[in-house]
Structure 1
């Protein structure tokens, strides 16, 4: 009887610590002092330095490849067009479109506006040479106009126009009745056709000379602006 009471007392007693449920997850270990010190000493400047170093090496390598071994720092004498700032500017700006009346506003009378002139329908910016094309300059007569005819004839005052009709006549040889009388009518007609074709070719060549001149000047300014 005494043994039964003793067993009941033991069963009714409070549960010991050993009977508590234990978590299956291990308790996190405290960080070591060395690990804490490493976290405190971290600095983003190291990563920034690594990125900058990589960009520098990549830039040098790319420069070496593009320049054909000429330079590591983009110091090429003749840069490709796509490496020139002026070229990109011209690509995005595109050609200039103005009517003849609108073009007059760019003759240099307004110092705040650029200087434009046109030849054969193409407008060029000549603002970089204001001494020559600006007010008082020797070529200011062409500024603000399409003076294609005047560039060919050299008559700055009278031929300041884009009308090229009959321009070939200035390249035709002068008729000489004393010489013409030795040719038949058919021969004279054939000769005049040949002379007219040659005169038109000369007029076209003279015009193209100035077209190429301004086109090359614009390209040169684009390269220098790089």
Structure 2
């Protein structure tokens, strides 16, 4: 390689290394939001800063993803809640709540005792639905405190794993995309106030499990039996209706009195 080309290559490597070692405070990072045409557009995720200047239509002023630049908004990448500025933060506290499942049998037990309504069952009239729930729960039996504690213990582990997987998905998207170069790290201000509560839109994506009704739900609805809505939409899926009671479960409740011992033995 000619001396001049070798020098240029060395300079390029040095420049890349310097960029990769760049450290910006959150305040300094805000200056790279695309409003100053003389500066690159930076976006941070998981504490790592990426240069997204090559996609100004997406990340520049007026772009669909402009709200993500000039900051580390890891929380919003997972929850998809970006309409409120306070949700655009790197703090992930409480995000796992969007993946904590609801249990249909627990809702039914509460409805049977008058403690709460069954979500998605208002169209039947709650008095009628409470009667159906009582009939079903008499056959299923009370859900023990031990069983509920076991569910919560397992659910929190799975929920935190789901959050990490979602964050890893977006981190990999930028890290493996040749268009977007890694330029450094954000110096995060850990003294900031606690993050906001998880947004209502994210909580609507919570999955629905059957609990003691799982086997019936699987038998009658296939994969959709574990989740609400058509096709068993999972938490985080666009247009998902996971919080609603599946139609076939409503129909099953209508005929609750016909449940026999054989069904109970399968639960």
Shorter-chain TM-score: which interval? 0.5 to 0.7
The aligned runs of 1:12-161 (5 Å cut-off) are 89-158=15-84, 159-161=87-89
* Distance in 1 (alpha carbons) for counterparts of 2:13 and 2:180: 9
Contact 2:52 2:180 survives alignment (8 Å) = no
Residue equivalent to 2:147: 187
Q: Runs of 4+ in structure 1 displaced over 2 angstroms?
A: 83-96, 179-182, 219-222
Please say if 1:166 is aligned against 2:94.
Answer: yes
- What is the alpha-carbon distance in structure 2 between the residues aligned to residue 97 and residue 122 of structure 1? 9
1:125–1:182 CA distance, 2 compared to 1 (3 A): same
Aligned Cα root-mean-square deviation (Å)? 2.5
Residue 36 (structure 1) aligns with = none
Q: Distance in 1 between matches of 2:170 and 2:176?
A: 10
Cα-to-partner distance string for 1:151-171 (whole Å, 9 max, x where unaligned): 111112232111100111001
| Aligned residues between the structures | 141
Q: Which has the larger radius of gyration?
A: 1
User: C-alpha distance in 1, partners of 2:145/2:79?
Assistant: 31
TM-score, structure 2 length as denominator? 0.48
Cα separation, 2, equivalents of 1:105 and 1:99: 10
TM-score normalised per structure 1: 0.56
Name which of structure 1's ranges 142-151 and 95-104 shifts more when overlaid on structure 2.
95-104
188-197 or 95-104: bigger deviation = 95-104
How far does the alpha carbon of each residue in 1:132-186 deviate from its partner, in whole angstroms, 9 at most, with x for none? 1000111101110110011111112232111100111001112442168732101
- Structure 1: state its 5+ residue gaps: 1-54, 57-82
Partner-residue secondary structure (3-state), 2:65? coil
Closer, same or farther: CA 221–160 of 1 in aligned 2, 3 Å: closer
